[in-house]
Amino acid sequence: MKHAISLTAAAVALSLSSIASAAEFKPAVSYDTAGKHDRSFGQAVYENGVTAFQNDSGVSVFEYTPANETQREQGLDRLARRGYSPIITVGFNYSSALAKVAEKYPETDFVIIDSVVDLPNVKSLIYAEHEGSFLVGALAAMVSETNAVSFVGGMDIPLIRKFACGYEQGAKHVNADIGYYQNMIGSTPSAFADPVRGAELAKSQFSRGSDVVFAAAGGSGNGVYQAAKDEGKLAIGVDSNQNYMFPGTMLTSMVKLVGKSTYDVFADYKEGNFEAGLDVRNLAAGGIDWALDEYNRDLVSAEHEEAVKAIAQQIIDGEIKVHDYMASNDCSF
């Protein structure tokens, strides 16, 4: 009898431990150094991904924000050592740190947003920003009365040029002769937090004839939208749906659904589904979209809406090929 009890106890203990190791779900997120309240990318992950998932599933997600470059790797290393999995890293800046840590902890599953890390335990979430930018560029060209559109970028890096290049292609797809102006705010990360300069650039573009401006500039975008409102021009938001910020002058927003992807990864992982490798969130996969809601309904006519949707379908079907700046590091299309 005693023997039997200890046996069952051992069996129970064994099965419990195997459950603990196999099905343990300890999700974690490591934000970029800009933090989770950056009003853009990090915030989308925090609000639509982490918070939403915590509320729906009751599972708490561990959050970490490094203060400098070194702490990226240090933080990831510690998350992995503490048994967190999956660990989502927010932003392409994590690629080199993640490559090192993921190699060291092959049993832990990692996700990186906006970059590719080619390891068997890393899922790389890539967004086809050029496709979304193409759509809003096409819409901009349709509504432009001055026959000129423009782009304000934040920091001058390939990712931002990818937005610009897609936008330009979209505008020229609709109207090959359209005027196109492009300015970058700066060359340091502070370029994403300089609304004053954003407004200046937008105003100079308006004075050169543009009447629709697309800002892919993080926090600097607010200045661009404000300038458009002040001068009665149109502006296009980025990453999150920013239509509500200035109803009446926000033509639309190029939406990148990072929060939703975060949520999906956690939800799938909870069900035991995780697939490492490249995961391209393009128009077809619903990772990229343009925003149409009550705030910009009056600015987009039914005819234009149909036309943009048709272009979107053509991109999904592969009839329109949008050139990706980062594929060749130049914008020749």
Partner 1 sequence: MNNNKLPAWINVLLLPLLNLALALAVSALVFIAVDVNPLDAAQLMIEGALGYQEGVGYTLYYATNFIFTGLAVAIAFSAGLFNIGGEGQAYIGGLGTGLVCLLLGPSMPFWIVFPVALLAGMAFGALWALIPAYLQAYRGSHVVITTIMFNFIAASLMVYLMVNVLKPEGEMSAVSAVFESNAHLPMMHDILGWFGIDFVRSPLNLSFFLALAALVLVWLLLWHTRWGYAIRALGSNPTAATYGGINPKRLTVIVMLISGALAGMLGMNEVMGYSQQIRLGFVSGYGFTGIAVALIGRGHPIGIFFASLLFGILFQGGNELSFEYANIEREMVEVVQSLVVLFSGALSLMLVKPVEKIYLALTASRANQANTQEA
Choosing from 55, 207, 329, 332, the residue that interacts with partner 1 (CB under 8 A) is 329
Q: Is the dihedral of CA 153, 157, 159, 163 positive or negative?
A: positive
Kindly identify the residues of this chain, within the stretch 135-164, that bind partner 1 according to CB under 8 A. 155-159
Nearest to 72 by CA among 86, 87, 54, 53: 87
Q: How far is the CB of 64 from partner 1 (least distance, A)?
A: 6
The CA distance from 62 to 79, in Å, is 9
Nearest to 70 by CA among 89, 34, 88, 97: 97
**Tokens representing residue 257 in the block:** 């659904």
Please, which residue, 99 or 140, has the CB nearer to partner 1? 99
If one asks whether residue 14 binds partner 1 (CB under 8 A), the answer comes out as: no
Q: How far is the CB of 264 from partner 1 (least distance, A)?
A: 22
Q: Are strands 288-290 and 250-256 parallel, antiparallel or unpaired?
A: antiparallel
- C-alpha torsion angle, residues 168, 142, 286, 292 (rounded to 10): 130
Kindly identify the residues of this chain, within the stretch 85-104, that bind partner 1 according to CB under 8 A. 92-96
Quote the distance between the C-alpha of residue 150 and its chain's center: 22
Which x/- pattern, by CB under 8 A, does the window 170-209 give for partner 1?
----------------xxxx--------------------
Nearest to 156 by CA among 280, 321, 329: 329
Please, which residue, 98 or 227, has the CB nearer to partner 1? 98
Kindly identify the residues of this chain, within the stretch 289-328, that bind partner 1 according to CB under 8 A. 326
The CA distance from 99 to 263, in Å, is 23
Kindly identify the residues of this chain, within the stretch 35-74, that bind partner 1 according to CB under 8 A. 35, 63-71, 74
Kindly identify the residues of this chain, within the stretch 115-134, that bind partner 1 according to CB under 8 A. 115-116
Please, which residue, 26 or 78, has the CB nearer to partner 1? 78
Q: How far is the CB of 186 from partner 1 (least distance, A)?
A: 8
Which x/- pattern, by CB under 8 A, does the window 207-236 give for partner 1?
------------------------------
**Exposure string (b/e) for 238-257, b if CB count within 10 Å is 16 or more?**
bbbbbbebbeebbbbbbbbb
**Tokens representing residue 310 in the block:** 């048709």
Q: How far is the CB of 124 from partner 1 (least distance, A)?
A: 10
Please, which residue, 99 or 257, has the CB nearer to partner 1? 99
Binding site for partner 1 (CB under 8 A): 35, 63-71, 74-75, 78, 92-96, 114-116, 155-159, 186-189, 326, 329
